[in-house]
Structure 1
Amino acid sequence: MSRTPDPALVGLAQGWCALSALHSRIEAHLERALQAHHDLSVREFSVLDVLSRQHDGEGGHLRMNEVADAVVLSQSATTRLVTRLEDRGLLTRYLCPTDRRGIYTDVTDAGRSLLAEARPTNDAALREALKDASDRAELAPLVDAVRSLSPSS
């Protein structure tokens, strides 16, 4: 016996597929640009970006689990990624001075320099990916929603 699908669920599924397609298109575009020009993956760029925003003072440094949450990776994947970036001299790790169980990660001067070089590439690739996606009827409303989140809109 076949049941008629719930139109609300069909709409949600279609919306999710469109959102997933937009994310995949943008990520692939960013990945190609960052790899080609800076030998960085999107995830590596994201980790450098998140960690570059740390500051001295209360709540200014992130523990590894907070980094994982910020870049939406598992803790083990984040640890492997941080290790690769540390091996490249872009990050450094050290023990938390107030809790010896905690490990903080900082961006090195080389990491900050690479991030500064890569940011315009990332930003241009993001603009290009959003422009390309806005030409597709099923993605245009999502692109508009993303653009509306920008404080400069």
Structure 2
Amino acid sequence: MTATDPTLTGLAQGWCALSLLHGRIEAHVERALQAAHDLSVREYSLLDVLSRQHDGPGGHLQMKQVADAVVLSQSATTRLVTRLEDRGLLSRYICDTDRRGIYTDVSEAGLSLLAAARPTNDQALREALDSAAANPDLAPLVTVVEGMHGTPAPRP
């Protein structure tokens, strides 16, 4: 079945195309991050989300918020945090005001790895979008993705 299969409704065709685009992008970015930094897409996403936390009210994310941000279950997120903590990329600590709360911070090593991996992630994303734009079924979705937060990056 393809995104333009005539037996699918328009909504189903759109969903099929979106799913295909997501899968292609994620696979391409995964290969690039693994090869260059020994980092999965999920690990990169987790480091990225946690690196944007800040001190002060609402600055630290609870595990459920982190799980929602990286699109994983809470148990899968906990396992991911543990793996990155074992690699020295994260640390966990108990919340000062609520002893039930556990916060996670990116270590200096994690921030360094994230900084090194960010250009790889961005380049792989650009490559995946450029490749998808050549497919008439996916090109409209690429245009939407590129236009979501400002001007699209120029294609080489």
Q: Which residue number corresponds to residue 49 of structure 2? A: 50
User: When the two structures are superposed, what TM-score results if normalisation uses the length of structure 1?
Assistant: 0.93
Higher Rg: 1
Unaligned runs of 5+ in 1: 1-6
Unaligned runs of 5+ in 2: 1-5
* 2:142 paired with 1:143: yes
Q: Which residue number corresponds to residue 105 of structure 1? A: 104
Deviations 1:37-74 (A, max 9, x none): 00000000000000000001110001111100110100
- Report the AA paired with residue 139 of structure 2: A
- Structure 2 distance, partners of 1:150, 1:42, is 21
- Structure 2 distance, partners of 1:152, 1:44, is 27
Task: Give the total of aligned pairs.
Answer: 146
After superposition, residues 29-48 of structure 1 pair within 5 angstroms as 29-48=28-47
* Percent of aligned pairs sharing the same letter: 76
Q: Which residue number corresponds to residue 3 of structure 1? A: none
* 2:133 paired with 1:134: yes
Counterpart secondary structure, 1:35: helix
- Structure 2 distance, partners of 1:27, 1:98, is 38
After superposition, residues 27-106 of structure 1 pair within 5 angstroms as 27-106=26-105
- Report the AA paired with residue 87 of structure 2: R
How far is the alpha carbon of 1:152 from its aligned partner? 3.5
- Report the AA paired with residue 125 of structure 2: L
User: When the two structures are superposed, what TM-score results if normalisation uses the length of structure 2?
Assistant: 0.91
Please provide the CA RMSD for this pair.
1.1
